[in-house]
Amino acid sequence: MKKWIALVCAVLLLGTSARAVEVSAPSALLMEKETGTVLFAKNEHEKLEPASVTKVMTLLLVMEAIDAGVLTYDTVITASAHACSMGGSQIWLRENEQMSVSDMLKAVCVVSANDCAVALAEAVAGSEEAFVERMNARAKELGMNDTTFKNATGLPADGHVTSAYDIALMSRELILNHPDIRQYTTIWMDTLRDGTSQLVNTNKLIRFYEGATGLKTGSTDSALYCLSATAERDGMELIAVIMKGATSDQRFTDAKTLLTHGFSTYALHTITPDTPLPPVPVTLGTQATVQPVLGEGAALVLEKSAGELSQSVTLAESIDAPVAVGDPLGTMTVTAGEQVVAEIPILAGEEVPRVTYGQMLMRLLRTAFLSD
């Protein structure tokens, strides 16, 4: 499915509307979640300190560990001396204090708890150092070429850098493939330790921006104010990344500017055939035809002003067996007005083996007897 989606060619009419947006932060980016389309960028590859926005990667690896069965939400973690020594934003874990993965995720997402981030990292990889190796390996897999992680928290460390573009990549991976993280990132106020520890989200957008779904704030004296903000409206989820904002309020203002621009200017279109795709004849196949399919989840992000979409389909007259699932059978061309906005491959939706000599002989014999 991912390969099919990657083949979708979305043509965005960014010109005038993109230039009309201004943010004060020196580095920023706006990305649509489903397609990964960049809708706005400003110095998006500048390597900067991310502060606690680092924890997006920490959260991603924890959620992947849960999916893999390494952890469950109910797994109880015992806080190590190292985890409790973090300083900065924390919930003041005591050495050997026990807390569930779920509660630690809540603490990381809501109040950016460094102690819980490290405790989770140790539970996943055995040590923070081993976890950081996994962070960097996962970053490389995601194409985060501007990134080097030195710790699991984002506390200041020489060479611990990333970019607005890379933050968007890991944020997208988290919210696209692990939507359950929303149960924590959308919390405005909550408690831990049977109500004795109060939590208030560091991300003010959760309370004050319509459709906000997360994701992570960060700030240090050197990184200044950073943010990866996600929000969803009308079936489209956007990621706004702000780096090195001058003040806390300004990073939220910049993020709102980008998100509002995205929602007001663009729309997400999921492409499906207007009419059922007809079967394609198969030569020397074990069946006479193969059913074509459009790449599932094919999606386009277009300006709302682009106009109504239309589509045309070109299919092969026939295909020789054997046919494998995913073999190309044609193309759907999507246009907005006179402009081609996507060419989506049409693929074989089923396997059709080639007939054997024995099967071919039986066919000939049946044909001969029937003709008699």
Residues designated as active site: 52, 55, 112
* Tokens 């950016």, residue located: 112
Helical pair 128-141 and 114-125, crossing angle rounded to 10 deg: 80
Please tell me whether residue 78 adopts helix, strand or coil conformation.
strand
CA distance 363 to 260: 64
Measured distance CA(345)–CA(45) in Å, rounded: 31
Q: How far apart are CA 65 and CA 58, in angstroms?
A: 11
CA distance 259 to 209: 10
CA distance 186 to 306: 33
Q: CA 314 to CA 321: how far, in whole Å? A: 20
**3-state percent breakdown (helix, strand, coil) of the chain, nearest 5:** 35, 30, 35
State the distance between the two ends of the chain, measured CA to CA, in whole angstroms: 49
Helix (H, G, I), strand (E, B) or coil at 183: helix
